[in-house]
Amino acid sequence: MPGPAPDERMRPAGRRNSQGIRIDPEAEATHQPRQAVLSALVKHEPGVLSEVSSLFSRRQFNIESLTVGPTVDHDVARMTIVIEEPDPGVQQAKKQLEKLVPTISVEELEPEATRRELALIKVNGEKPDDVQAVADMYGGQAVDVTTDTVTVELTGSQQKIDAAVEAFQQFDVQEVCRTGTAALERGADTLETDD
């Protein structure tokens, strides 16, 4: 007695979305991507940066920026990684990052965390006073002035830098160098440092 053919078998009514979450097929609920800032303390040793960047690229996590720098402890570096992912992706990225052997701790920072980016913007120097005026508007300052160019230094949130770069377009932006976001939690919260 062979069992029913495929189209005659009993079948459940439910469905899952592409993230493996059970859904009501009527009201399909997929998570939308959002921006998340992951802050990680890692061992300050050769190869760590390549290990982290290779992890993000092979698992196709969308990186917006990644910064690394030393901390007060010479053996520990801090990485700040801004990603754009739906919620399950943010959780995955955090857990995969935690799995790397040189990783000490990882947190996703609160949305209100202090976030700053530094930018150097080199523009045409024909109208230095006008350039200075725009720089003032964004709290920036000229750090290099020649007859041909003015280079302005700015810090602020990513949105503020975006807006400033836009504003400087009128002076014919010649080069921009942005550091990517550095961020710390507000208040007394810090990342775990004990291994």
The answer to whether 102 contacts another protein (rule: CB under 8 A) is yes
β-pair partners for 182: 116
Run of H or E residues at 34: strand 34-43
**Residue numbers 50-89 binding another protein by CB under 8 A:** 50-51, 54-55, 58, 88
24 binds another protein (CB under 8 A): no
Does position 2 interact with another protein (CB under 8 A)? The reply is: yes
Size of the site for another protein (CB under 8 A): 42
Measure the CA–CA gap between 21 and 83, rounded to whole angstroms.
Answer: 22
In sequence order, the 6+-apart residues with CB closer than 8 A to the CB of 118 are: 153, 154, 155, 178, 179, 182
34 binds another protein (CB under 8 A): no
* Helices (H), ranges, 38-86: 48-58
Q: What is the DSSP letter of 167?
A: H
Look at residues 120, 115, 114, 116 and name the one whose alpha carbon lies nearest to residue 154: 120
Number of Cβ within 10 Å of residue 189's Cβ equals 11
Exactly one of 38, 79, 81, 104 binds another protein (CB under 8 A); that residue is 104
In the bound state with another protein, the residue whose beta carbon lies nearer, of 14 and 129, is 14
Q: Which of 35, 67, 96, 155 binds another protein (CB under 8 A)?
A: 96
Q: Is 20 in the site for another protein (CB under 8 A)?
A: yes
Using the minimum distance from each CB to another protein, give the nearer residue, 10 or 188.
10
Q: What is the residue-wise DSSP string for 2-15?
A: PPPPGGGS-----E
108 belongs to the binding site for another protein (CB under 8 A): no
Kindly state the smallest distance separating residue 95's Cβ from another protein, in Å: 4
The alpha-helical segments, DSSP class H, found in the chain are: 48-58, 87-99, 128-137, 158-168
Tokens of 194: 């004990």
- Can residue 27 be called a binding residue for another protein (CB under 8 A)? no
DSSP label at residue 72? S
CB of residue 77 to another protein, shortest distance in Å: 13
Does 188 interact with another protein (rule: CB under 8 A)?
A: no
Residues near another protein (CB under 8 A): 1-7, 9-22, 43, 46-47, 50-51, 54-55, 58, 88, 91-92, 95-96, 98-104, 195
